[in-house]
Amino acid sequence: MGTGLRTLAAVVMGALVTLSACNRQAVDFSGPTAEWPFYGGNQGGQRFSPLTQVTADNVDELEVAWVYHTGDVSPGNARHGPTAFEATPLVVDGSMYICTPYNRVIALDPETGRERWSFDPQVDLTGVYTPSCRGVAYWRAGDDATCSSRVLTGTLDARLIAIDARTGKPCEDFGENGSVNLLENLGDVRVGEYYVTSAPLVIGDLVITGAFIQDGQRVDAPPGVVRAFDIRTGALRWAFDPVPPGAEPISAEQARAGVNFTRATPNTWGTISADPDRKIVFLPTGGSQPDHYGGPERGDRDYYGTSVIALEATTGQRIWHFQAVHHDLWDLDIAAQPVTFEQHGDTPGVIVATKMGHIFLLNRESGAPLFPVEERPVPATAVPGEFTSPTQPFPTLPRPVHPDVLDEDDLWGIYPGDKSACQAQFRRFEYQGMFTPPALERSTLLWPGLGGGVNWGSVSVNPGTNIMLVNSMRVPYTVKLLPREQAGSLEGSDLVGANPQEGTGYVVTRGGFLSPHNTPCTAPPWGVLTAIDLDSGETLWERTLGNLAGLAPFGVGRWLDWGTPNTGGTLQTASELVFVAATLDGYIRAFDTASGALLWQSKLPAPAQATPISYRLTPEGKQFIAIAAGGHGPLAYAAKGADKVGEMLGDAIVAYSLP
């Protein structure tokens, strides 16, 4: 290009840049400032920011402000499965704190992404099938002493660690050299069977945590106890041993004397929330072990299974509990963090979002439903030794966010012959609608599937409008019970998708409902975003969430807005925007909360199976939207296959702001 042409091009480009700048709206610096001090924004888990600088009028101008790479990403190896970078960062006291799938804790400058310190607990990842850390907790004492502000994190090798928030060094006065061994008082625990994936909860001077227990392994599983520790010393202050009425729970005093907690009780692997004013803690529990068989071997341990339990925060004493699934045989754990809200401005409520797509709105003081809940008849089991609850609870409002019935005419296929092949499979299934129990001889169709519905991403609430936003997925699963004597070499690790269920007469296999071309047999949408009015219980709008970009052949996927399976949550702001990623297509999006209109989207370095946050630190500063973009190993495996898992994994924190 000649000098004259280069000069002309420069003039034109300069004019275009000037014109673009003129069209941009000036950033409004008059609004509020806010940090993100808790996993869910506040202790009630509302995932709401009061910030207003980013609005419907300027959100399409958001651009990447900075990117930070942790380096902790792997498609899996002999010691552990593929990573899942699902972390929700905290931004508090001028720093951002994140945790990686390898449990490293990192402090960043929230406005530049510059690393301030990194702490590596050197975790043992042996046997962990999805290395993940969803978040950390923060505490401050209000003075300038060493460890007067602390970051608390749980690990994949079952430790609770306190770190000096300023230096990244362990707090030596917490437990032993900064660490509490969570395996104490548990008895026999196998390698990789018990670990922490969700953020601890800090309330007052207590740090509270449950833990994940590997699904479907044995009747004599480790205890599901939830414990509160002194945030300064690490001493055990209380323990909630979730045994049924009539059984004697093990207390903190007994544990300090060396007594082990009760085995095989329902565990709390999801995120705990709280009402700090009323001093109530809300636990979401999983089903009793093993997941898909609950005969006499399981005993009466179902009482607190698949429930939300309200505890007195300072003592751990039970206030009430609500069971969303009776005698759970489907692995329908309450994965979502319970979320607080006020109905009609004066009734204290808590939201229980479930894998079934049922949304229960409860009074958080009493546990009473705010809208009627009906006990409806459900199918009965024919498995010898098993029993099923004759009814299950169904909310009348809000309307479920997942269809409750699937029939042959609903089946679907992309390629010629797919639909008929899916229909042939469907006729071979045991299926009588929702809550069809696992069967012998043939596979049972689970619709909704055991992944959700709503998973651990939970919901968001704008307290100004009382609108709840929830993302959910529609992915069917299958389960089948095999008599142990017939399973032979298929038992345990020799069978992909199998759980041994030791101590019972049955091994269980789990799988998907897919066409011969490995595409879903159920029609889209496979991911949806729903807005619900919490005062009326009515659904305001619903739309697909995600497209098939990078998933469909010939590059046509970005035009197919059919929704995708999604894991992660939503963020709402006071400017009535909702931000969500969560999908397999690798985008983060912003929608108008009143209408559901798509206002902005941006391609991330990897799919973000995580929840966005927002913060603005000074009156002169910008509002940031930040998210962990690192993918999720099991979802990547399902979408791409084992040989391409690495293509959908990453290690980035991405922050956006206005120009």
When computed from its CA atoms, the radius of gyration of the chain, rounded to whole angstroms, is 24
CB distance 406 to 476 below 8 Å: yes
Quick check: is 418 catalytic? no
Residues 348 and 320: their CA atoms lie apart, in Å, by 14
Residues 610 and 635: their CA atoms lie apart, in Å, by 13
Place of tokens 């008929």: 420
Nearest to 215 by CA among 410, 625, 498: 498
Residues 445 and 513: their CA atoms lie apart, in Å, by 8
Nearest to 200 by CA among 312, 81, 283: 283
Q: Which residues pair with 361 in a beta bridge?
A: 351
Q: What six digits make up the tokens of 564?
A: 């995708």
Length of the chain (residues) = 659
Residues 629 and 587: their CA atoms lie apart, in Å, by 9
Nearest to 319 by CA among 361, 360, 362, 286: 362
Q: Are strands 570-573 and 48-49 parallel, antiparallel or unpaired?
A: parallel
Residue 195 host element (H or E): strand 194-195
Nearest to 108 by CA among 136, 144, 75: 136
Q: What six digits make up the tokens of 422?
A: 């899916």
Amino acid at 124: D
Q: What six digits make up the tokens of 84?
A: 């899942």
Q: What angle do CA 368, 467, 33 make, to 5 degrees?
A: 115
Q: Are strands 587-592 and 598-603 parallel, antiparallel or unpaired?
A: antiparallel
For residue 525, say if its preceding peptide bond is cis, omega within 30 degrees of 0.
yes
Q: Are strands 359-363 and 347-353 parallel, antiparallel or unpaired?
A: antiparallel
Residue-by-residue DSSP string for 349-382 = EEEEE-TTS-EEEEETTT--BSS-EEEEE-PPP-
CB distance 336 to 270 below 8 Å: yes
CB distance 482 to 293 below 8 Å: no
Nearest to 84 by CA among 136, 40, 49, 129: 129
Residue-by-residue DSSP string for 48-83 = EE---SS-TTTGGG-EEEEEEE-----S--SSB---
- Per annotation, catalytic residue among 215, 331, 561, 585: 331
Work out the end-to-end distance of the chain between its first and last CA atoms, rounded to an integer number of angstroms.
32
CB distance 446 to 432 below 8 Å: no
Q: What six digits make up the tokens of 190?
A: 């196998």
Residue 357's alpha-carbon distances to 335, 424, 458, 527, in angstroms, are 12, 27, 11, 12
CA dihedral 613, 618, 619, 621 (to 10 degrees): -70
Q: Which residues are identified as catalytic?
A: 331
